[in-house]
Structure 1
């Protein structure tokens, strides 16, 4: 067993654990904002660790495709969570009294007053 096998196993197990914890958080957190955190950050980290653990044992050409998958995930996941969060906010699915800073609410109030 080489050090690459150990590194790959640690990455695969760490990624799997991160995805599992994200899924548990997604099912157990009480509101949309907290669920968005659980759906994006641990899932993205978990996927990237799994891809790294897999790429270690592949040829460069195939491993570079996994790098593209990781980059695509890192670009789309925050954008998607931002859009879902804004839609949930506008649909009153987020309790505004629990927000520390409500920049979107302030912006929407300003826009409403200018009309």
Structure 2
């Protein structure tokens, strides 16, 4: 047996063995020393016990339709309206406060609002990977 055939065979076996782990892997990017996990399907469906959502989680929650009753569209409509600047970070924060998912103090926290804005800017990329 040629050495190259042996190497090719090992690569095929390794690929097949690792495939289940690769298919469920999450894409990670970094933003100001903070990891951003972009797998919107892996977020919990029940946010009722959460009193503070991280910026990524807030955007994902809105994307999944968690803020529909508070005027924030979900899915592709959220992406479209974000791209057209019809939905801003402040809008999400206000809706989340009204939904009792965030503390009202965050309405005045410019760092939090800026972080939500960064996540909204990245939303089209996350949605495309979804």
TM over 0.5: no
Comparing both structures, which one devotes a greater share of its residues to helix? 1
More strand, by proportion: 2
Instruction: For CA contacts below 8 A with separation 6 or more, give which structure has more relative contact order.
Output: 1
Q: Given the two structures, how large is their TM-score scaled by the length of structure 1?
A: 0.31
TM-score, with normalisation over the residues of structure 2?
A: 0.28
